[in-house]
């Protein structure tokens, strides 16, 4: 994935998605799992809307990528990131 266009600053999550896609490997898995768990927490009134991006960004920033993952690694990383995201959300309360 290569992005060459402009991303408006009003959409930081879009920049995060482009960054994750550009890095490849399991970064998109991390982005998706963290974002989904953060959205679930928002819909359950556990966090505020801006926290969705903050949580996802924090998980991406601390993530150790697997460059060429196998299916089993993708599934395991998805589960690991979801657990870490839930722990982060709990710590924010």
Q: What is the reported pTM? A: 0.88
First CA to last CA distance, the chain: 37
Give tens-digit pLDDT for 24-81.
Answer: 999 999 999 999 999 999 999 999 999 999 999 999 999 999 999 999 999 999 999 9
The answer on pLDDT for 15 being more than 90 is no
pLDDT at 48: 96
Check if the beta carbon of residue 11 is closer than 8 Å to that of residue 56: no
The answer on pLDDT for 93 being more than 60 is yes
């Amino acid at each position: 994935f290569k992005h060459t266009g402009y991303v408006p600053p009003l959409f930081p999550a879009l920049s995060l998605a482009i960054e994750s896609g550009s890095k490849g490997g399991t970064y998109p898995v991390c982005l998706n799992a963290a974002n989904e768990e953060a959205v679930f927490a928002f819909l359950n009134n556990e966090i505020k809307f801006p926290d969705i991006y903050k949580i996802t960004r924090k998980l991406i920033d601390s993530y150790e990528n697997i460059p060429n993952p196998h299916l089993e690694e993708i599934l395991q990383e998805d589960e690991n990131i979801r657990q870490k995201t839930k722990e982060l959300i709990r710590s924010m309360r």
